[in-house]
Every structure is written in structure tokens, then in C-alpha cells.
Structure 1
Amino acid sequence: MKTTNIRTITALVFEDYETLDLFGPIEMFGRLKTLYRIQFASLRGGIINNQHGVALHTVKVDELPWHTDILLIVGGQGTRQLVHVPAFLTTLQQLSKQTKWVLSVCTGSALLAKAGLLDGKRATSNKRAWAWVISQSDQVKWIPEARWVIDGKFYTSSDVSAGMDMALGFIADQHGSATALQLAKDIEYHWQEDSQTDDFFDNSIHGA
């Protein structure tokens, strides 16, 4: 492994976040307790609910106990409103600039794009919401066929379950493929190791 220092993952959530977008990657990182710790944040703090009835206790962004090393931004129906909320986009900009890595799942990349954080960068997102996502910015080189994309400190992934593949990809990059493969085996998960191929990409719909 490249490091034994504990890194803090801040998951920035909001009303109507997608359950698996969040808890899929959290399952991966949460199993590596000597390497990662996780804090859940929101703009206002307190309980955040999603459409599946999952209530999550969060800490207000400016009251977080630990400095953020890795920012996790998820997707869900709530992203449709947040692209029009300047306070959220400003907070996202500030957190992203302070962190070493930014990981997004599903339509979380639409928020990053709207905030101008992906300008000039390669990225991907949810294939079912593709037209809406790419409409948030024409300054991004969108890669529709990818399962996840890495550009500098930004990791962006496709829809829902792709967040788990991306998380394992990040873990492999940081700690070696053997660590990621063992983790996938431990949870009986078939890891899609090829970041460039998404089985849910449809050339006739998304283009190439």
C-alpha cells in the first residue's frame, strides 16, 4: 500500500439523494477502516431524507470536525433543483478546491459541471439522464461510453452502481489492484474493472 495515513471522506448530501450512489461507495471505503474515515455533510446540517425513506444525520459544512481529503458528491432527483441553487454550487466549489480528490456518482457530475469545476476536463455521468447532464455545461469533454473517468483529481462515474466500480478503481489506484480485488471478493461483488466500458452505453442514444 502507498500510505497508512487515514484520509477523511466527506460525503456532501442533499434532499432526494440516490441511496446506492452514496452507500455503494461508502460500503467500499468503510471496510478500510485504517485508511479512511467518513463524515456526512449538508448545507444546513441535521437530518437529510431521500425518496427511499432513508434518513441520514449530517453535519453542517462549516462545522465538520475533520478536514476533507476526498469529496464524494452523489446524484439523485435532488440534483435537478440544486443546479439552480447558488449557495450549494458555491459550497461545492469551495470544498472541491480544498480537497485532494473529488469523486462523483451519477448526476453528481452535473453539479460539478454547473459549478464550473469540470471546465476543460473529461467526465461521464448517468446514461439515462445524459441529455440533462450535458446540458449543464458545454465546457466539459463528456465521455458517454465510460464507466468512470479520471481527469486530474476528479473521478466521475456513470449511473448508480458505477459508483462502486469507481470507488474500487480509486482504491486500486491508491493501494493496488490486489486490495481492490480482495475487497470486491469480500463483499461478493463482480467489479467492472474496465473504466472505459459501460455496458449501459447505447451508441444510438448517447452518441460516441
Structure 2
Amino acid sequence: MSIFDIFAKLEKEKAERESAAGPVEWLVVGLGNPGSKYNGTRHNAGFRALEHYCAKTGQRIDKMKFKALVGEGSLGGARVLFIKPQTFMNLSGEAVRDAASFYKIAPDHIIVLSDDISLDVGRIRVRAKGSAGGQNGLKNIIYHLSSDQFPRVKIGVGAKPHPDYDLADWVLSRFTADEQEGIDHAVDRAMQAVEEIIRNGPASAAQLYNGKG
């Protein structure tokens, strides 16, 4: 990238920040469990995506509100509230409901990042709506919003190593050293997919990111 490309990129980002200085239009929710004992676990893939994004961009998600850590920022030319619910996975919907009610955000402007055991590590999948697919955080969000009409970006964490392996133990296990590069790649692409959803909708994001490594 030349110096001219860098300046053009900075000018574009500045213009987007200025255009997105109004009220919150979107919620971007990363799912996980709070506390250091859960850091790096498969179930915390949603948290990891937001943390990875913060490390790259300087975005801060550090204010306590709506039973969650939150931070306002801009993404895809829109004003966004980033949310990390602190209620533990099974009650994630409480934070999402409270934030959506406060900012008057419709379900189709709530994007949820979650782990998915049906996808290999390194893969992501965009869905415009649908059932929870057994993911308890999504299930609770659907319950509290009384709607499943919200887009979600599913981050692959790999299937159980064998059928008898306890599911809870699996999703609360940590990624192996060999999987670290794959999950970092996936969470980076997950946030790119979030941006594409905001800019051009879930269908465009699905076309760009589903089924591709």
C-alpha cells in the first residue's frame, strides 16, 4: 500500500466517523461468558471477535450498561453499539433486549456473533434470521426479543472429537495451539462480515463469506 493509499484510507475512515456521529442505529453483540476462566474457550468466540476488532481498531468496549460491557463506535458508515453481555451465555438476551429497547433498535439491526460447533475452525456463516440451532445464547435472545428475525454471524469452533464427548465440556474447552491461526482468521472475517451486513445486507455478506475460508 502506497502512502497515497494510506492517506485515502484515513480520509475515508474519518468521513465515515463523521457521518456516523448520530444516534445508535445498530447493535453488534458478541456472545460469551464473563470472567478470566472462560477466556479463550470455544463458547467465547463472539467475545473474541469483538476483542480482536478492538485490538485492530482501538475501539473500546468497557462501559457497564444493560448488564453488559458496551462501547459506541462506527462501522460500515453507521453508528453502532458494541455489546458483550455479562450475564453468562444462557441469559444473553437480557442485555440485548434492554439495549434494543433503549435505542429503539429493530431486530433486523441487531447482529449477533456466536460460536457454532457445526462449522470447522476457521469458517464462518452468515444468516439473516432463523432458529437458535441449539446455541443457548441465541435461544435466549430470540426469547427476549420475541423474534428470530435478526442477522447473525456464526463462527466455527469445530465439532466434538467423538459422539460421547460432553457438549458443555467441549464448548468450554480452549482452542489448541494448531487451531489458533484458524480462529483468529475466522474472527477477523466475522467482523468483516458484520461490516458488510451493515453496508449491503445479510444476503451480500452471505455471498461473500459463507463456505469460504
Relative to the length of structure 2, the TM-score reads: 0.38
Larger radius of gyration: 2
Structure with the bigger RCO (C-alpha within 8 Å, sep 6+) is: 2
